[in-house]
A and B are shown apart, each in its own frame.
Chain A
Amino acid sequence: GAVVSQHPSWVICKSGTSVKIECRSLDFQATTMFWYRQFPKQSLMLMATSNEGSKATYEQGVEKDKFLINHASLTLSTLTVTSAHPEDSSFYICSARDSGTPSYEQYFGPGTRLTVT
């Protein structure tokens, strides 16, 4: 149980285009999901907290107009990188917290590698 999927697993796009990444909790409901960004050989940096039915909370320094987050259902959150540039190339990882348990544990997706050319 407690599986989180991400789609796509990797994507290459041209500079100036937009890319949407999906994060799904497959066997549980998640009112809260988190989006992280990981640069090569570095730790995960929290970008934003996605709450079902409400606006996402962005961390300081993260452009909310560039990284659009939508959490329209209890099992799906999407991250759209708008007008992507090469510096947006990174590994994006989502996690989800099971709303049905009191545990603080988060379940992570396998990540999406974005390359902007």
Chain B
Amino acid sequence: GNSVTQMEGPVTLSEEAFLTINCTYTATGYPSLFWYVQYPGEGLQLLLKATKADDKGSNKGFEATYRKETTSFHLEKGSVQVSDSAVYFCALSVAQAGTALIFGKGTTLSVSS
């Protein structure tokens, strides 16, 4: 079946540190891949996405590259800020439009100044 596996958290970093949150997936066909962010007490916001192999999604300094050979979509940021503290979810959507997203369990990031 289709599934997403994220690295266990929480991840605790100092401001300006480099961030990597690992995400791997299992899917039939060619899924679209997403990273969502959830700030405390809020809903999910799309952070970035990639719809085909080798695509790189980027937004607000975050990047992730769709790697078909390793079935991965790792999230990276070169220099985190305190305001990046949130829960990050990796997700996939299978080929048919209208199907629900499949989420990983989420990774909590805590950045201290």
Contact = CB atoms under 8 A, between A and B. Distances in A.
Interface string A12-46: 00000000000000000001101000000111101
Interface in B91-113: 93, 97-101, 103-106, 108
Contacts of A78: none
Interface residues of B, number: 22
B23 to A, nearest CB: 13
A93 B105 contact: no
B32 interface: yes
Nearest to B90: A43
A49 B49 CA distance: 22
Contacts, number: 52
Contacts of B97: 97, 102-104
A108 B103 CA distance: 13
B43 A109 contact: yes
Given A43-B89, A44-B89, A108 B43 contact: yes
Task: Give the interface size bracket for A toward B.
Answer: 20 to 34
Interface of A: 6, 31-32, 34, 41-44, 46, 49, 93, 95, 97, 102-111
Given A34-B100, A93-B44, A106-B101, 14 more contacts: A6-B43, A31-B98, A34-B101, A42-B106, A43-B89, A43-B104, A46-B101, A49-B100, A95-B101, A103-B97, A104-B93, A107-B46, A109-B43, A111-B42
